[in-house]
Amino acid sequence: MNSFKTYGLMLALLLLFVWIGNLIAGQAGMMWAFFLACAMNFVSYWFSDKIVLSLYKARELSQNEAGGLYPLVANISQAAAMPMPKIYMIESMSPNAFATGRDPAHSAVAVTRGIVDLLDNRELSGVIAHELSHIKNRDTLISMLAATIAGAVFMLSRMASWAMMFGGRNDGENRGNGIVMLVVMILAPVAASIIQLAISRAREYGADESAARISGDPLALAGALRKLTDASKRIPFAANPVTAHFFIVNPLKADKVLSFFSTHPPIEERIKRLENLAGMKL
């Protein structure tokens, strides 16, 4: 069900993007928006992992450098029936982790120095299982494509503001009138953000459940989430908002009032679901 909803939301994002292109420049704008979306998704598919890893100055670890982290990741990969991903280290004491890559054969797991120091092996195994679940479920690819299209919607909304300033279309259909353009300029980015957040939240719940089944220890991940949430509040992470949804816990500080717009579902709800899974036979 989560996968069905995710692909439905991805389609909604794409249609929103194409609709704005049509609004700005008619059929030509619609086609331009469609081909632009395809081009951006092509770049995301092939290069998103390199872009995100370079953004956080992540350094690939050799087997010797990874130390005890290497066999831990190898064991979880084997349990998940996945190829061994590359392991990257981010030199930050803020505890967090994320996965990236278009498929299991081209994947990487990045951890901060802080998360390795904070968690014990049992809890860290739960985190790694969560990240590998994102890779196995193709969440890393879907999330980047969603972020790319959402960013493009923001760009088109800016173009709509320019179209409004210079009169928009003049084809008698009144689609480029100032009021409509103003509505698009304000509401389209909000709609794109809400759709992107819905995709991110759905995939987090799915990865938590998959991780619990891979590790057979839902409480390990639940304990890790508690520690990570508390520690990340004390030691904030300078994350780019565009990629905040990649991390296992939200690296951005957010007011409770704005929790609706968080890239992650409530930690309390995630922990509750994991505790419920612990009472079942996985």
Distance of alpha carbon 214 from alpha carbon 127, whole angstroms? 11
Nearest to 149 by CA among 2, 277, 21, 52: 21
What does the pLDDT read at residue 3? 54
Question: Running DSSP on this structure, what letter comes out for residue 266?
Answer: -
What does the pLDDT read at residue 177? 54
Q: How many other CB atoms are there within 10 angstroms of residue 278's CB atom?
A: 16
- Write the burial class of residue 119 (CB in 10 Å: 0-12 exposed, 13-18 middle, 19+ buried): buried
Distance of alpha carbon 137 from alpha carbon 111, whole angstroms? 19
Distance of alpha carbon 251 from alpha carbon 146, whole angstroms? 19
Nearest to 92 by CA among 271, 236, 213, 218: 236
Query: Residue 97 forms beta bridges with which residues?
Result: 111
- Write the burial class of residue 31 (CB in 10 Å: 0-12 exposed, 13-18 middle, 19+ buried): middle
Distance of alpha carbon 65 from alpha carbon 74, whole angstroms? 14
Task: Respond yes or no: is residue 173 known to be catalytic.
Answer: no
What does the pLDDT read at residue 9? 60
Show the CA angle centred on residue 129, arms to residues 219 and 67, nearest 5°. Answer: 105
Active-site entry in 123, 131, 204, 209: 131
Query: Residue 98 forms beta bridges with which residues?
Result: 110, 247
What does the pLDDT read at residue 33? 75
Q: How many other CB atoms are there within 10 angstroms of residue 226's CB atom?
A: 14
Per-residue pLDDT of the chain (282 residues; tens, 9 = 90+): 445 655 666 677 677 777 777 776 677 777 777 777 777 767 777 777 888 899 999 999 999 998 899 999 999 999 999 999 999 999 999 999 999 988 899 999 999 999 999 999 999 999 999 999 999 988 887 777 777 777 777 776 766 666 566 654 455 444 445 566 666 667 766 766 676 676 777 789 999 999 999 999 999 999 999 999 999 888 988 887 778 888 999 887 654 434 545 668 889 999 999 999 987 755
